[in-house]
A = this chain, B = another copy of it.
Amino acid sequence: MVKSGDSKKRETVTAGLIIIGDEILSGRTKDENIGYVADYLTEIGIQLREVRIIGDDESHIVEAVNAMRGSYTYVFTTGGIGPTHDDITADSVAKAFGVGIDIDERAVAQMRERYSADKLTPARLRMARIPHGADLVSNSVSLTPGFMIENVIVMAGVPRIMQVMLDAVTPQLRTGAKMLTRTIRVEAPEGDVATGLGRVQAEFADVAMGSYPYFEKGRLGTNLVLRSTDEDLLGRAFDATLQMLESEGISDFQPVEG
């Protein structure tokens, strides 16, 4: 069994993501944040381990935040921090941590850059409600900030705003070894490669090997995806997989990007 060298190991940094909003669950809005956050975290060396999509419901939010913040290095949330009655994320996160929440003067100061005094209505000031002990996460698009409390980062649901908040908070995050990927596209159904892949997996236990079927033009094919933080080990597992395909008599396959 080929193991990765310990000297190359860096800390594993993990994350959970909570998407808050009835509109995703009803199908009215198609989520754009999951794929973006997944790509982004992979790129900076944080492994996304779980995503939950829940409604604008206090008990669901409290439960999800508390279940995930103890399990992962970081928990990101999107949605529910606007000015309307259904925006209850900040209050729910405060409740999950058992801390108070009030209008935060630092947040109000940031909002003043955008809103004149007469536009800072009570509804908009709701957006400045920040749990005690949280740091602000700046928002260069619409200026109303998100926040980070302990290991939980609370962001807006609008994709463009979520994205700048993610950029803003990234310098404060620990990151681990970057997960590297090699992919082989095989023009054969999974069943033709399953046994051989299992053999290569047994040999390279420290490389995560996944097999992902696709269905195109009426035919089933398979993407074999090898993942590891160790580039050398990944290269050897990749070569072993190519050899396995040849020895199984499969001729139509090719390495692909991503």
Known: A30-B35, A53-B50, A220-B142. A213 touches B82 (CB 8 A): yes
Q: How large is the interface on A (under 10, 10 to 19, 20 to 34, 35 or more residues)?
A: 35 or more
- The answer to whether A181 and B124 have CB atoms under 8 Å apart is no
Interface check A122, CB cutoff 8 A: yes
Do A85 and B38 contact each other (CB < 8 Å), given the known contacts A26-B227, A50-B60? no
Interface flags, A137-148, vs B, CB<8A=1, else 0: 000011000000
List of B residues within 8 angstroms of A193 by Cβ: 84
User: Please, which residues of chain B bring their CB within 8 A of the CB of A23?
Assistant: 210, 212, 225
Assess whether A86 is interfacial by the CB under 8 Å rule: yes
Partner of A84, one of B25, B119, B197, B227: B197
Residue pair B49, A55 in contact (C-beta under 8 Å):
yes
Please give the residue numbers on chain A whose beta carbons come within 8 Å of chain B beta carbons, in ascending order: 21-31, 34-35, 38-42, 47-56, 60, 82-87, 115, 119, 121-124, 126-127, 141-142, 156-161, 179, 181, 183, 189-191, 193-195, 197-198, 201, 208-215, 220, 225, 227, 258
Q: Can you sample 9 A-B contacts with CB below 8 Å?
A: A23-B212, A27-B40, A29-B212, A31-B31, A49-B54, A51-B51, A82-B190, A86-B209, A142-B215
